[in-house]
Structure 1
Amino acid sequence: MKTIFFSVLFLGLSVSAFSQGEDLKDINTQIWANFTKAFENLDYQLFSDLHSANLVRVGGDSKSVKGKTAYIKGYENRWKEKKLKQTISFRFLERIAKNGKASERGIYKLTIDPNTEKEKSYYGKFHVIHRKENGVWKILVDYDSSENNSINETSFLKAFAINDFNINNP
Structure 2
Amino acid sequence: MREAACESHGTCNVDQRSFKAYLSRWYAATTQMAPWTAPTIMPRLFASASAAAASCIGGDDKNTCGIIWTSSPPAWDGSFGVGEQMSALSVIMSVLIPNSSVPVTANSGGTSKGDPNAGSQGDRPVIAPATVKVGDRVGAGFLTAGILGLMLAAVWWMAV
Structure 1 and Structure 2 fold alike (TM over 0.5): no
Length-normalised TM-score, structure 2: 0.28
Q: Which structure carries more helix by proportion?
A: 2
Normalised by the size of structure 1, how large is the TM-score?
0.26
Bigger Rg, which one = 2
